[in-house]
Amino acid sequence: MILIELFLTFFKIGLFTFGGGYAMIPLIQQEMVTHGWLTIDQFVDILAVSQMTPGAIAINNATFVGYKVAGIGGTAMSTFGLISPSLIIITIVAKLLDKFSDHPLVEGAWQGIRPAVVGLIIVAVISIGKEVITGINGIIIGIIAFFLLAKVRLHPIGVIVTSGILGIIFALF
């Protein structure tokens, strides 16, 4: 039963989220916590591992969540549930887009969807930030990470490693 629930939950996430993996984060978080499958802390830990692991963050997240909830079977059902809507939709859209891509209604829809995706990502940042950034050390590491990404253009792996080292230093002192 849990395998079917995982499949349907991730199918719903895949079906109703536009904008890629980061836009899915708030919905994945809400579903996992609402179902009682993960605590917010467990979700944040899985999210961190998903970001460090090669591949798409949403698929990595679904894979790790599925494994945490129901082992190997959960991994398969969560991942397949997440990608199924995209496979179905992209097949249909690819056929239709050639015919209607220049239509004003289609262009208008995209003009509305793109800003909504940015909003979803901002909500994920704020929601997860409230849970993860605790105390002055977290704020300092967050600011340094932002600076390293935005201004120095350090690779995200370098930022993660640097942040981990800073976390260890702050924990020791």
Those residues with Cβ within 8 angstroms of residue 116's Cβ, 6 or more apart along the chain or in another chain: 18, 19
Q: What is the pLDDT of residues 118-130, one digit of tens each?
A: 998 898 888 888 8
User: Tokens in use for 139?
Assistant: 């704020």
pLDDT band at 69 (very low <50, low <70, confident <90, very high): very high
DSSP one-letter code for 37:
S
Cβ 61 vs Cβ 28: under 8 Å: yes
Confidence of residue 24 (pLDDT cuts 50, 70, 90): confident
The DSSP letter of residue 101 is T
Question: What phi, psi does 38 have (nearest 5°)?
Answer: -140, 150
pTM over 0.95? The answer is no
CA atoms of 72 and 42, how far apart (whole Å): 18
pLDDT of residue 129: 86
